[in-house]
Amino acid sequence: MIACVGALTQEIAVARSLINGQPVDAGPARRIYRGNYDGIPILMIQTGVGRAPAQASLQFALGRYPISAILSFGLGGALQDAFAVGDLFLVSSLSACEGPDDVPDRPSYPVLPVERALLAQAWRILDAAGIPHTCGGLTSSQKLIADPRDKRALAQSASACLIDMESYWIAEIAAARRLPALFVRAVSDGVEDRLPPFGDFLSPDGRWMILRALSYFMTHPSDVKSLKRLSRNSRKACASLSGAFPHLIAAMADARKAMP
């Protein structure tokens, strides 16, 4: 069984219909759906945002289902000018930091590599399907990094091209359990895009806390334009993930067969 792991409802929605996913479990931030794609059993796990929900949700699923590989997919922020909204990104290595306070110091977490055979198989299958993609390092932050200056500093200190808030912590568990894991992100915000402080008004599962959000945007009206832009960008990024998802599942299945 392949576990497909995403943090947010919009990320999970990319693939849930493709696997005809049926709900089998729910927790405070966790949602789990079970289905299959082309005869391959799939467990889809919506973890919620950040380290603690991601690790708790994955550990819960690993304790209850026969998971043999992990596909972590979702949205990420660019740390370099070369990457545009909607670009598909295969992660080759993962680092982590606490947040903006770590910038520009080098993160204190060990770099985790991605299984080369799995990465190569995904690359070949996406190439064959004519789906544009790139490859490089990703860093996961325990806090939202919203300021373009902090993004650029982190790109230098962590030698990363992309940032999110979950991948590294999922990779830790996969490494500890010796499970093959592939990490795929689509760019949802550019390096110069300043983000609103989503942690102030989003719940752990990524849902809006309406009163807090209204209070924030009433006092920060200029951020409404940023929110609209990010919403458009997120839809474009999710479209990239949706087009790639069947091919990524095929890559996972092929690579598992080839592994000893």
User: Which of 103-112, 138-147, 152-161, 171-180 has the highest mean predicted lDDT (pLDDT)?
Assistant: 171-180
Mean predicted confidence (pLDDT) in 174-189 = 94
Kindly tell me if the per-residue pLDDT of 217 is higher than 90.
no
- CB-side neighbour CA atoms (13 Å) of 167: 34
The two structure tokens encoding residue 5:
């792991």
Mean predicted confidence (pLDDT) in 140-146 = 85
Helix or strand holding residue 132 (H, E):
none
The one-letter code for the residue type at 50 is G
User: How many CB atoms neighbour CB 222 within 10 A?
Assistant: 9
Measured in whole angstroms, the distance separating CA 76 from the mean position of its chain's CA atoms is 6
The one-letter code for the residue type at 96 is A
Cα torsion at 74, 78, 79, 82 (round to 10°)? 140
Over the stretch 64-90, which tens digit does the pLDDT of each residue have? 999 999 999 999 999 988 899 999 999
- Which pLDDT score is estimated for 252? 86
> Which residue segments constitute the domains of the chain, with CATH numbers given?
2-258 (3.40.50.1580)
- Which residue, among 151, 142, 134, has the nearest Cα to 190 in the 3D structure? 151
Over the stretch 94-127, which tens digit does the pLDDT of each residue have? 999 877 665 544 556 888 999 898 999 999 999 9
The CA-CA-CA angle for residues 253, 256, 258, to 5°, reads 115
Confidence (pTM): 0.88
Of 98-102, 179-183, 251-255, the poorest mean pLDDT is in: 98-102
Q: How far apart are CA 128 and CA 121, in angstroms?
A: 11
Of 32-36, 181-185, 208-212, 242-246, the poorest mean pLDDT is in: 208-212
Of 49-58, 165-174, 220-229, 245-254, the poorest mean pLDDT is in: 220-229
Do residues 181 and 154 make contact, with C-beta atoms less than 8 angstroms apart?
A: no
Kindly tell me if the per-residue pLDDT of 63 is higher than 70.
yes
Any residues with CB less than 8 A from the CB of 62 and at least 6 apart, and which? 3, 173, 177
- CB-side neighbour CA atoms (13 Å) of 135: 15
The two structure tokens encoding residue 226:
């940023």
More confident residue, 255 or 2: 2
Query: Which of the 8 DSSP states describes residue 109?
Result: S
Quick one: 196 exposed, middle or buried, by C-beta within 10 A (0-12, 13-18, 19+)?
buried
The one-letter code for the residue type at 151 is K
